[in-house]
Structure 1
Amino acid sequence: MLIDLCQGKDLSILPAHTDYSILQIISEVGTDLSKWPTEKHFTAWLGLAPGTSQSGKRKSNVKHSRSRVGRYFCIMARSLARSKDMALGGFYRRLAARRGGLIANIALARKLAALFWRVMVKGTEFVEEGLAAYEAKFLEGKKRSLRRLARELGQAVSPIPVTV
């Protein structure tokens, strides 16, 4: 029934989306998300996109009042943040260590909203890569940036085997 309501798209594959939360979101935004041309427009409408207003050193990152749907995505992000084996949970923990839990929760809610938009409008399938794959991808990015920095400084980086 829910797949028929969502025009043949299975939204239950998205992490932290239950049937009830999907119904809540669809009751607010409808099933035709093409009125938002991009996922950035959709997340901005939800109040989850980072803002650019700045006055001196004072920055205003997020709208002070989010829509009801934005709050639903924040609630789903909070439950997903506790997951130990999902890539999005790892994303939350990595960002929360740097920027704090509230900012990380809003960033994860924005990711969930963008995934929701992509499934509904573009019809893309979500595949959970897992925490190990996310960590490996992150480590590879760190290695790449270290090699680039060494190249800019005229140095070379070579791996040393670690013996335990």
Structure 2
Amino acid sequence: MTPEQKYRATMIRKHLEFVENSIKELDEMLNVLAAPYESAILLLCTIPGVDRTSAITIISEIGTDMSHFSSSKRLCCWGGLTPGNNESAGKKKSVRITRAGVYLKPALVQVAHAAVKSKDNPYYRIKHERIAKRRGKKRAIIAIARMILTAIYHMLSTGEIFNPCDLYQVDMPQVLRDKQKEKALKQAAKLLIAQGIIQASDISAISLRPA
């Protein structure tokens, strides 16, 4: 190794140490600035796909006071997660999402990707699979990001942890799904009998077992 090469290696090493120290100082400063919002950060971390870094990014963009936004739709519009308005002569045309939310939107899209891959909580993964079949994977990710931002709005407004109203229906055990299906089939059979479409004697010919 020549003296010149040693000198370059030393310079690179010093630059690497400078970058590492700068990152460390920045992390310490961020922790100090985020300390007053620790409760909100922990609250957002209950959402699948949201970690401490992404929670800090989101709060730094929208704050914790949701009274600035009249509704979750306004917040999603401000974050650039709603389609623009393209209407002419009474006809609405398909448009892309707006370009707002330069910093917030990429962070939420990243969170959405993590949420649909979460193994601990399949809520958003199931939602994503259902939407992707109809709208495609890219639009499904934007839809998940919009759902997450809507959840964030209500969580910061009420102080409640992540607990969507349809969580039980989405993440229902297979045993309970089979029981609900069997109950639905029985109710359908009773309705058909009441309408005179079939006879009670024909019930034995109808299989009520889950498919």
TM-score, with length taken from structure 2: 0.58
Tell me, yes or no, if the aligned pair for 2:78 and 2:100 is still in contact at 8 Å.
no
Correspondence for 1:43 among 76, 100, 105:
76
1:81-92 equivalent positions in 2, closer than 5 A = 81-84=116-119, 85-92=121-128
TM-aligned CA distance change 1:27 to 1:134, over 3 Å:
farther
CA pair 72-48 structure 1, distance change in 2 beyond 3 A: same
Task: Report the alpha carbon displacement of residue 3 of structure 1 after superposing the two structures with TM.
Answer: 7.7
Go from structure 1 to structure 2 and tell me whether the alpha carbon gap of 1:6 and 1:43 turns closer, same or farther (over 3 Å shift). Answer: farther
* Secondary structure of the corresponding residue to residue 94 of structure 2: strand
1:72 aligns with 2:87: no
Query: What residue in structure 2 maps to residue 33 of structure 1?
Result: 66
CA RMSD of aligned residues (A): 3.6
Q: Identify the structure with bigger relative contact order (alpha carbons < 8 Å, sequence gap 6+).
A: 1
Which stretches of structure 1, 4 residues or more, deviate above 6 A after TM superposition? 154-159
Tell me which residue corresponds to 1:5: 37
Give 1:86 deviation, angstroms: 1.2
The structure in which a higher percent of residues are helix is: 2
1:132 — aligned with what? 171
Superimposed CA distance per residue, residues 118-162 of structure 1 (whole angstroms, 9 cap, x where no aligned partner): 1111223323746532985xx87xx7xxx7xx99xx897987323
Q: Please say which of residues 52-61 and 21-30 is displaced more in the overlay.
A: 52-61
Give yes or no for contact 1:48–1:110 (8 Å, CA) kept in 2: yes
Pairing partner for 2:153 from 117, 120, 135: 117
Higher CA-based Rg: 2
Equivalenced residue count is 153
- The unaligned stretches of length 5 or more in structure 1 are none
| 1:27, distance to aligned residue in structure 2 (A) | 1.5
User: C-alpha separation between the residues in 1 aligned to 2:138 and 2:113?
Assistant: 10
**Amino acid across the alignment from 2:171:** A
In 2 relative to 1, CA 53–156 (structure 1 residues): closer, same or farther, beyond 3 Å?
farther
Contact 2:115 2:125 (8 Å CA) reproduced: yes
Residue 25 of structure 1 deviates from its aligned partner by 1.2
Letter in 2 for 1:77: A
Q: Percent identity over the alignment?
A: 22
TM-score by length of 1: 0.73
